[in-house]
Amino acid sequence: MSSAVCVAKVTLLSLLANGTLIAIALSAGYRTASFVYHAATHKTLHERVRREMRERAGLDFNEHLLPLREPPVIACRAHLSRVAGALEGGANVLLQTMWQAVMLESIGLTLRVFVCAYVLSKLGAQFDALQLAWLAFVTLFIVPKLWSLRPPIVDEKIAMARVHARHAWMAAKERVLSQIPPSVLAKAL
């Protein structure tokens, strides 16, 4: 009797990246559902959730969920050592950036975090921790050297891509976002 064992290659990096992707997807799904609910009923989903929590579970929405609106902060102990202060400051910036991305405060930031989390989840699934550390160490020294050796045409192409991206965003904003009244967006979200 033989049994097949399927072992998933999972690293902490891929777990964190996948968790970030799921959090962004859930937040975007809630915002979409909230917008559709408001468009259909002219009531906010936020009020409905608050009422359901109070009636079914006896929970006060303000007490349990409003503290989640503030980004998490790690208490800095910079007075102990400069390295500890730098690491904790970096962790605070990372947590606040992730929080802003999950809360969909900025579309651009959310998209950047989503792409980074996707790439990190794929990397984390392909490599183990030692390979990722080695890859990061080697990349740390190779990429700056390659960047310093780039031809001037690369800068021109990057500038042109930025201009095209800016024009595409302005066109999308003009065609789509300008059609939605600000009062509807404020109530729905």
Per residue in 151-162, pLDDT tens? 889 889 989 999
Give start and end residues of each alpha helix (H) in 149-188.
152-175, 182-188
115-to-10, 120, 187 alpha-carbon distances in Å: 19, 9, 29
pLDDT at residue 96 in the model: 83
pLDDT at residue 160 in the model: 93
The encoded tokens of residue 83 equal 């390295």
What distance, in Å, lies between the first and last C-alpha atoms of the chain? 57
Main-chain phi, psi angles of 171, to 5 degrees: -65, -45
Cβ(24)–Cβ(124) below 8 Å? no
Residue 120, by phi and psi: left (phi above 0), alpha (psi -120 to 50) or beta? alpha
pLDDT at residue 5 in the model: 47
What is the C-alpha to C-alpha distance for residues 46 and 65, in angstroms, rounded to an integer?
11
Cβ(76)–Cβ(96) below 8 Å? no
Cβ-based neighbour number of residue 91 at 10 Å? 14
pLDDT at residue 161 in the model: 93
pLDDT at residue 8 in the model: 53
pLDDT at residue 2 in the model: 46
What is the C-alpha to C-alpha distance for residues 115 and 17, in angstroms, rounded to an integer?
10
pLDDT less than 70: residues of the chain: 1-10, 57-81, 83-85, 177, 182-189
Whether the predicted model's global pTM rises above the 0.85 cut: no
